[in-house]
Amino acid sequence: MTAVLYGYWRSGAAYRLRIALNLKGVVYQTSGIDLRTGAQRSPAFLALNPQGMVPALEIDGLVLTQSPAIMEWLEETRPNPPLLPATPQDRAQVRAMAALIGCDIHPLNNLRVLGAIRSRFGADQAAVDDWAGNWIGAGFTALEALVARDGAGWCFGDSPSLADAYLIPQLYSARRFNVALEAFPHLLAVERKALEHEAFARAHPDRQPDAEG
């Protein structure tokens, strides 16, 4: 049975999972959940994911949620090609890069948080951009140093890893918030390489069935 990915075309978490699925060669179909209309709170979707968040993945008779958990599950059940290095210390470094984005940057610029900033504190778009840019810039400054130290074409070493699957969607988001990226040449070099890779290119938001025209 073909896997089904429930996501939103512009969701960073769904974007990173699409990259991982593509890198692993998993065949899947997409089911768009429009976060702007509240489709994530529909009874049908809440039956799949009681948290009401994307992505969710139906695969192998399971319903999996939370992109970090799903990506680790993919690594365990479909180990080739590997998205984590061979040694425990190197795996820890890749996981740290991924967590830097997934824990310390992305949650602070997702739709729920930005909606709260707008509704509860009256933030306009300039204030929202400033908020998001502050956390993106701080995280990217640290990540730039890590990639400069450990990267060899990709975030870590010379092959794609979980860290790259996290980075590329966050660079996409950074541009949406008008974040200046010139200070991060190593991250931009990884992005150029990634966008030439079919697994990353097919995952791009603009190529999703539910993308805006």
Are 34 and 109 part of one and the same domain? no
Examine the domain organization and report whether 95 and 142 are in the same domain: yes
Please check whether residue 212 lies inside any domain of the structure: no
Q: At what angle do helices 88-104 and 125-150 cross, to 10 degrees?
A: 170
> Does 123 map to a domain?
yes
Same domain for 108 and 179, yes or no, is: yes
Burial class (CB within 10 angstroms; exposed 0-12, middle 13-18, buried 19+) of 152: exposed
Q: How far is CA 73 from CA 18, 19, 45, 55, 192, in A?
A: 14, 14, 21, 14, 28
- Identify whether residues 106 and 182 lie together within a single domain: yes
Residues 150 and 184 in one domain: yes
Boundary (domain end) residue, out of 81, 97, 121: 81
Examine the domain organization and report whether 180 and 154 are in the same domain: yes
Establish if 26 belongs to a structural domain. yes
Confirm whether 204 is domain-assigned. no
Domain boundary among 23, 55, 81: 81
Whether residue 92 is found in the same domain as residue 70: no
CA distances from 191 to 6, 158, 185 (A): 25, 14, 10
The model's confidence at residue 213, banded by pLDDT at 50, 70 and 90, is: low
Q: Cα 202 to the chain's mean position, in Å?
A: 14
**Domain range for residue 18?**
3-81
Are both 97 and 190 inside the same structural domain? yes
Which residues, listed in sequence order, are joined to residue 157 by a DSSP beta bridge? 151
pLDDT digits (tens, 9 = 90+) for 111-135: 899 999 999 999 999 999 999 999 9
Q: Please, what is the average pLDDT of the chain?
A: 97
- Integer Cα distance of 35 and 54 in angstroms: 9
| pLDDT (0 to 100) of residue 212 | 79
Of the three residues 31, 52, 81, the one that is the final residue of a domain is 81
Which pLDDT tens digit goes with each residue over 175-191?
A: 999 999 999 999 999 99
**Quick one: 109 and 178 in the same domain?**
yes
Q: Is 155 helix (H, G, I), strand (E, B) or coil?
A: coil
- The answer to whether residues 124 and 179 belong to one domain is yes
pLDDT tens, position by position, 9-67: 999 999 999 999 999 999 999 999 999 999 999 999 999 999 999 999 999 999 999 99
Q: Assess whether 66 and 97 both reside in one domain.
A: no
Q: Which residues contact 21 (CB under 8 A, 6 or more apart)?
A: 3, 5, 28, 74
Q: What percent of the chain has pLDDT over 90?
A: 97
- What contacts 56, CB < 8 A, 6 or more positions away? 5, 6, 7, 45, 48, 49, 63, 64, 65
Question: Which CATH number belongs to the domain containing residue 122 in this structure?
Answer: 1.20.1050.10
- What is the reported pLDDT for 1? 82
Please say whether the beta carbons of 16 and 68 come within 8 A: no
Whether residues 46 and 146 share a domain: the answer is: no
As a whole number of angstroms, the distance between CA 40 and CA 51 comes to 9
Domain count of the fold of the chain = 2
